[in-house]
C-alpha cells in the first residue's frame, strides 16, 4: 500500500495517507479530514467545515421559504384589503368605525335641519328628513359592521405574519447557535 504525503488542513501537520483513502483523521489535532484528489492537486479538507457548510445551506433555504411565506401572506392581504375599500368621488378608503359614526351623525343632523326647515312650508317635505335620518343610521350601521370585519381581518393577518416571522427567526437562531 503506497502512502501519500499530505498536510492537515487544520493544524498543518504532515500526514501519510493511503492512496485509496477518502477520509482520514489527523493524528495531531484529531480533525476529521476528507481527501480531495482533483486533477492536479491532492489536499485535505476539514469534514466539519463541509458538514457545517451543507447544514448552513439547508438552513438558509428553510429561512428563505419562511420569508417567502411572509411575502405571500402580504400579497394575499393586499388583495383582501382592496375588497374592504369603499369607493367615492374622494377616492377609495378603508372603512373606519369613526368614519361610520361621524357619517351617521352628519346625516342625522342634516335630516333634523331639513325637517325644521321644511316643516315651515309643508309636512310632506318634512317627512324626507325622517328618510335622511333613517338612511344615515342604516349606512352608519353597515359601515360600522364592515369596519369591524376589516379590523378583525387585519388583526388575523398581523397574527399570522408574526407567527411566520417567529418561525423564520427560529431557523435563524438555529443557524447562529454554532
The least distance separating Zn ion from the CB of residue 52, rounded to whole angstroms, comes to 17
Asked if 44 interacts with Zn ion (CB under 5 A), we say: no
For 14, 46, 62, 124, the CA distances from 4, given in Å and listed in that order, are 10, 18, 41, 111
Q: What would the grid cell of residue 175 be?
A: 443557524
Residue 129: CB atoms within 10 A of its CB come to 20
Residue 29 binding Zn ion, by CB under 5 A: yes
Instruction: Note whether 106 binds Zn ion by CB under 5 A.
Output: no
CA distance linking residue 168 with residue 41, whole number of Å: 41
Q: Which of 6, 8, 133, 147 binds Zn ion (CB under 5 A)?
A: 8
Query: Could you tell me which stretch among 22-30, 60-68, 71-79, 128-136 binds Zn ion (CB under 5 A)?
Result: 22-30
Q: How far is the CB of 15 from Zn ion (least distance, A)?
A: 7
Residue 20: CB minimum distance to Zn ion, A: 21
* Contact indicator for 168, 66 with CB cutoff of 8 Å: yes
The minimum distance between CB 25 and Zn ion, in angstroms, equals 9
Q: Is 25 in the site for Zn ion (CB under 5 A)?
A: no
Cβ atoms of residues 32 and 50 within 8 Å: no
Regarding 109 and contact with Zn ion (CB under 5 A), the answer is no
In 3D space, the residue among 49, 66, 47, 68 whose CA is nearest the CA of residue 173 turns out to be 66
The neighbouring-strand residues paired with 33 are: 24, 46
From 9-17, 35-43, 104-112, 136-144, give the range in contact with Zn ion by CB under 5 A. Answer: 9-17
Does residue 35 touch Zn ion according to CB under 5 A? no
Contacting residues toward Zn ion, per CB under 5 A: 8, 10-11, 13, 26, 28-29
Amino acid at each position: 500500500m503506497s502512502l501519500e504525503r499530505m498536510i492537515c488542513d487544520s493544524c498543518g501537520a504532515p500526514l501519510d495517507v493511503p492512496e485509496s483513502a477518502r477520509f482520514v483523521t489527523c493524528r495531531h489535532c484529531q480533525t476529521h479530514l476528507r481527501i480531495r484528489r482533483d486533477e492536479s492537486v491532492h489536499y485535505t479538507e476539514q469534514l466539519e467545515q463541509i458538514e457545517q457548510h451543507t447544514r448552513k445551506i439547508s438552513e438558509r433555504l428553510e429561512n428563505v421559504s419562511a420569508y417567502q411565506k411572509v411575502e405571500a401572506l402580504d400579497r394575499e392581504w393586499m388583495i383582501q384589503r382592496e375588497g374592504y375599500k369603499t369607493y367615492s368621488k374622494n377616492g377609495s378608503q378603508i372603512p373606519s368605525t369613526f368614519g361610520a359614526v361621524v357619517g351617521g351623525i352628519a346625516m342625522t343632523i342634516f335630516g333634523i335641519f331639513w325637517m325644521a326647515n321644511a316643516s315651515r312650508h309643508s309636512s310632506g317635505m318634512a317627512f324626507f328628513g325622517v328618510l335622511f335620518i333613517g338612511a344615515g343610521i342604516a349606512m352608519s350601521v353597515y359601515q360600522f359592521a364592515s369596519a369591524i370585519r376589516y379590523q378583525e381581518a387585519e388583526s388575523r393577518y398581523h397574527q399570522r405574519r408574526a407567527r411566520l416571522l417567529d418561525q423564520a427567526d427560529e431557523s435563524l437562531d438555529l443557524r447562529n447557535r454554532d
